[in-house]
């Protein structure tokens, strides 16, 4: 522990990324949290990101503005596409809440910040278990990103930094993620996951709310953010 190496941690303000931030800090990294105002419906998650970064002890926190509404194409960034409610996994394909190339864009900014900070480690809270519909949450995607990143930067090419993308949740179910976070003292009451909240109050019926509720239920617990 406490090696003091710097890492960039992608932090949405949701359950998964809060857990990953706790893991990175527990592993001894100086965690630099990175969030995005990207035109998401649920921009209240950024207030959650600020609370979580402060409470868990992130070394720094940046919020970068990028307007993905300019492109649209997702229920999360395009008002013409409705967020589904009440039927987890009813849509057989990749959900309409998929945002085109979102993780690729987020990781690219993390790569830039890591290079400037002199960090060799990036943490990302993707899971291929509970929500395997998103292509950019799969291990083969992450591996290909890492290969590309190590050809992309001055730091990598000069041999100073070989980037590693850490995805500690990739093989965990939602319940396993929650159990790990609780061990590390994460206060899930500070987090926000809902895709279409009423103000700051989660709807309770979108896929993200249903997945959270199921995770807590499997542990015999109630989601503190849903109370």
Span from 12-20, 42-50, 95-103, 180-188 in contact with its own copies (CB under 8 A)? 95-103
In 3-state terms, what secondary structure has residue 135? helix
Q: How far apart are CA 191 and CA 152, in angstroms?
A: 34
The HSE-up count of residue 159 (CA atoms within 13 Å, CB side) is 0
Q: 3-class secondary structure for 76-112?
A: CCCCCCCCCECCCCCCCCCCCCCCCCHHHHHHHHHHH
Cβ partners under 8 Å of residue 144, min gap 6: none
Counting contacts by CB under 8 A, is residue 152 touching its own copies? yes
Tell me which residue of 113, 119, 108, 111 sits closest to 160, measured CA to CA.
Answer: 119
Minimum CB–partner distance for residue 21 and its own copies (Å): 19
Q: Give whichever of 64 and 226 is closer to its own copies, judged by the CB atom.
A: 64
Q: Give whichever of 141 and 218 is closer to its own copies, judged by the CB atom.
A: 141
Of 26, 50, 51, 138, which lies in the binding site for its own copies, with binding defined by CB under 8 A? 138
Q: Give whichever of 10 and 225 is closer to its own copies, judged by the CB atom.
A: 10
Residues binding its own copies: what is the number (CB under 8 A)? 46
Q: Give whichever of 44 and 148 is closer to its own copies, judged by the CB atom.
A: 148
Minimum CB–partner distance for residue 84 and its own copies (Å): 16
Which DSSP state fits 68? Answer: G
Task: Give how far Cα 141 sits from Cα of 8, 106, 151, 200, Å.
Answer: 19, 14, 16, 33
Span from 41-49, 152-160, 181-189, 209-217 in contact with its own copies (CB under 8 A)? 152-160
Counting contacts by CB under 8 A, is residue 72 touching its own copies? yes
Pick out residues in 15-34 that bind its own copies (CB under 8 A): none
Counting contacts by CB under 8 A, is residue 67 touching its own copies? yes
């Amino acid at each position: 522990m406490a090696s003091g190496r710097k890492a960039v941690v992608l932090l949405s303000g949701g359950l998964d990324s809060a857990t990953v931030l706790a893991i990175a800090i527990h592993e001894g990294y100086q965690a630099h949290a990175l969030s995005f105002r990207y035109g998401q419906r649920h921009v209240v998650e950024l207030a959650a990101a600020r609370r979580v970064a402060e409470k868990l002890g992130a070394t720094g926190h940046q919020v970068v503005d990028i307007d993905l509404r300019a492109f649209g194409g997702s229920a999360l960034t395009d008002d013409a596409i409705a967020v589904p409610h009440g039927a987890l996994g009813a849509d057989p394909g990749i959900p309409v809440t998929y945002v085109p190339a979102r993780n690729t864009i987020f990781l690219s900014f993390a790569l830039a910040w890591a290079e400037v900070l002199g960090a060799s480690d990036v943490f990302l809270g993707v899971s291929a278990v509970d929500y395997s519909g998103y292509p950019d949450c799969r291990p083969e995607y992450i591996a290909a990103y890492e290969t590309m990143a190590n050809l992309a930067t001055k730091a990598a090419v000069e041999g100073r930094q070989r980037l590693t993308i850490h995805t500690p949740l990739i093989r965990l179910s939602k319940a396993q993620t929650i159990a790990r976070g609780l061990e590390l003292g994460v206060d899930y009451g500070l987090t926000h996951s809902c895709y279409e909240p009423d103000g700051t109050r989660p709807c309770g019926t979108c896929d993200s709310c249903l997945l959270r509720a199921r995770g807590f239920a499997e542990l015999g617990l109630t989601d503190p953010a849903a109370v």
